[in-house]
Amino acid sequence: SQVRFPILDVFDVVKVAKVVEVEVVVEVVLAAIFVAKL
């Protein structure tokens, strides 16, 4: 089964990322997506 992230949720994450440490959040999200595609 594949995990799909709704676009709106992704936008919400981006908004939160702007408040928190952007670089760290982006790296974690990209890592999660990369692992999910394996």
pLDDT digits (tens, 9 = 90+) for 2-36: 566 666 677 787 777 677 676 787 889 999 999 99
Tell me the pTM.
0.40
For position 16, what pLDDT does the model report? 75
pLDDT surpassing 60 at residue 1: no
User: Given this model, what pLDDT does residue 2 score?
Assistant: 59
Sign of CA dihedral 32, 34, 36, 38: negative
Give 14-28 as a DSSP string.
Answer: HHHHHHS-HHHHHHH
